Amino acid sequence: MKKIGSGAVSVILAAALLFGAVRSDAAEKQVLRYGAINMRSTLDMQFNTYPWVMDISDHVAEPLMMFDYTMKLIPVLVKSLPTPTDDGRVYRFELKPGIKFHDGTTLKASDVKFSFERMFIPENGAINSYIADMIVGAKDMLAGKATELAGFKIIDDLNFEITLENPYAPFLASIGTSYGTIYPEKACREAGKDWGLTTYFGTGPYKITKFDADNGFYVERFEDYHGTKPKLDAIDFIFVEDPNTRRMEYESGNLDVIQLDATLYPEYSKSRLSSEIGSYTPQGTIFVSPNLQDERLGNVKVREAISLAVDRKVLVSDLMNDTVSLATTFIPPSMLGFDGTVPAYERDVERAKQLMAEAGYGDGFEVDGYIRSEQMNGTPGRTLLAIQSQLREIGISINIVQVDAASWSDIRRSGKIPLYIGTWYTDFPDPDGFINSYLYSSNARTLSNNYNSPEFDKLLDDARSTSDSAKREDLYKKADRLASRVDFAVVPLFHENMFYLCKPYVKDLHKSPDNTFHFFDAYIER
């Protein structure tokens, strides 16, 4: 009996030591827990525009070059940033040798070609092809007239050349976004439509080791990473749908970093967590997006009436507690093409009513205002509620329709949302990635805005094809004025500041002004 007892004690002690060792190992492991939102979307960046998905994808797969946290474009997969030929049309790239994908295969120029061509195959239905459709042959592929990208020439496994139709100054910035991510050809072909849904990898500093589309993604450091090794051993992207639960999880220590909606900033800035609040100013705009194919909203007088009836000053000061800045144009400040001379939008309810009457809607009308359910209690939802109240003064009654993220993507892409609060942020600091990606006719169609102005499109085409910065700036100013001041294709409201909560033990979280979270430099020091 005694022997059995001492034996049991020995087993327990051994087990305790073993588990102790495991626990200690786990404790030493640097794992950052990020409270993420599940967009119910593929991780494949050719098929979504969500910053929440970029947060994950950017750690796993990389474009040829990307922006660092100071918004400087740096080479990632290429040895250096190429300089175009004198005519501004041809770029020659050289890949760094020996770059490994997470499956152990080596990156080749053919993978890059495959990744670009993939976004132009019409059957694939990529939604971000605008970032590179200025490459010679891209439009032919999109139109189904070609199966190969004529402007992409492979020289050898490491060298390739890209030829553009016309000079396009922000070309490197454009393909340096998440949408230009390079995928392994063989694995991507084998996965087919499951790429991004059940399988996803690239050359990034982290590889996915837990692929759980419902609960989150666990990524661990890729030991064969070609660049500077990240300090964190792993990042746990934990999906927490409800913003309040996310905050409670953060406060109880189960999450290390979360985003904080600007509407809650005043409360948190007065709380004990005030020292844990970080902020950044993304280049973006919050606006009313009317669907120009809607019979009522297709009337420019109605859209101008909406602009005149909105009380932007109240939105800025009372709704957003002065955490945002008033919008005077669609293009945000600090971006090329922003026109600082444009005066603030005026508010004139009587004139708005008169315009409604002139448009034949003196008695007003009802319109559905769509919103993603998870945004209802955040900035877009509160803005929609305020706009709903303000537009009632001119007889426009907005029926709020809440939809889940997956339905939202489908309905918006079908062009059937009559009105919503747009939240648009640039992917690279150039107006082409901002105004073009939203309002150019082919893009506006997939975003339920349906602005289709040949004059506007021409201004953007002209701006794309010139490398003269002053001329480009002038063209973008004209285009912006046309869309937001003459045609009222969008009704800009304000430019946001964004906030997040970060535990004090998370160091070197360099938040860039773009709208994604990159933890490349971060580490934990308790």
Phi and psi at residue 471, in whole multiples of 5°? -70, -40
Query: Interface residues for other proteins in 453-492 (CB under 8 A)?
Result: none
Q: Which residue has the tokens 């950052």?
A: 32
The whole-angstrom separation of Cα 171 and Cα 141 is: 19
Q: Which stretch binds other proteins (CB under 8 A): 114-122, 166-174, 243-251, 333-341?
A: 243-251
Nearer to other proteins by Cβ, of 87 and 322: the residue is 322
SS3 category, 30:
coil
Nearest distance, CB of residue 312 and other proteins, angstroms: 12
Q: How many residues bind other proteins (CB under 8 A)?
A: 25
The whole-angstrom separation of Cα 461 and Cα 139 is: 14
Binding mask 270-309 vs other proteins (x if CB under 8 A, - otherwise)?
-x--------------------------------------
* Cα diameter, the chain: 99
194 scored as a contact of other proteins (CB under 8 A): no
Q: Which residue has the tokens 């932007």?
A: 312
Nearest distance, CB of residue 228 and other proteins, angstroms: 39
Burial 59-85 (b: 16+ CB within 10 A, else e): bbbbbbbbbebeeebebbbbeeebebe
80 scored as a contact of other proteins (CB under 8 A): no
349 scored as a contact of other proteins (CB under 8 A): no
Query: Exactly one of 166, 325, 402, 497 binds other proteins (CB under 8 A); which one?
Result: 402
106 scored as a contact of other proteins (CB under 8 A): no
Q: Which stretch binds other proteins (CB under 8 A): 295-303, 386-394, 466-474, 497-505?
A: 386-394
399 scored as a contact of other proteins (CB under 8 A): yes
The whole-angstrom separation of Cα 293 and Cα 335 is: 29
Burial 117-147 (b: 16+ CB within 10 A, else e): bbbbeeeeebbbbbbbbbbbbbebbbeeeee
Residue 401 tokens, joined: 């329709």
Query: Exactly one of 35, 151, 196, 243 binds other proteins (CB under 8 A); which one?
Result: 243
Nearest distance, CB of residue 315 and other proteins, angstroms: 8
Binding mask 38-57 vs other proteins (x if CB under 8 A, - otherwise)?
--------------------
Query: Exactly one of 103, 212, 318, 410 binds other proteins (CB under 8 A); which one?
Result: 318
Query: Exactly one of 95, 119, 264, 286 binds other proteins (CB under 8 A); which one?
Result: 264
Q: Which residue has the tokens 């300089």?
A: 83
367 scored as a contact of other proteins (CB under 8 A): no
Nearer to other proteins by Cβ, of 78 and 240: the residue is 240
- Rounded to an integer, what is the distance from CA 11 to the centroid of its chain? 53
Nearest distance, CB of residue 242 and other proteins, angstroms: 8
Our CA angle for 504, 242, 60, nearest 5°, is 65
The whole-angstrom separation of Cα 258 and Cα 368 is: 31
Query: Exactly one of 113, 207, 382, 518 binds other proteins (CB under 8 A); which one?
Result: 382
Residue 344 tokens, joined: 């603030």
373 scored as a contact of other proteins (CB under 8 A): yes
Nearer to other proteins by Cβ, of 295 and 318: the residue is 318
DSSP string, 192-258: GGGBTTTB---SSSEEEEEEETTTEEEEEE-TT-SSPPPS-SEEEEEE--SHHHHHHHHHTTS-SEE
Q: Which stretch binds other proteins (CB under 8 A): 60-68, 104-112, 371-379, 483-491?
A: 371-379
* Number of alpha helices (DSSP H) and beta strands (DSSP E) in the chain: 17, 20
247 scored as a contact of other proteins (CB under 8 A): yes
Q: Which stretch binds other proteins (CB under 8 A): 105-113, 132-140, 204-212, 312-320?
A: 312-320
Query: Exactly one of 389, 414, 442, 469 binds other proteins (CB under 8 A); which one?
Result: 389
The whole-angstrom separation of Cα 22 and Cα 20 is: 5
126 scored as a contact of other proteins (CB under 8 A): no
The terminus-to-terminus CA distance of the chain in angstroms comes to 46
Query: Exactly one of 31, 90, 142, 314 binds other proteins (CB under 8 A); which one?
Result: 314
**Site residues (vs other proteins, CB under 8 A):** 243-244, 247, 251, 261, 263-264, 267, 271, 314, 317-319, 373, 376-377, 382, 385-386, 388-389, 399-402
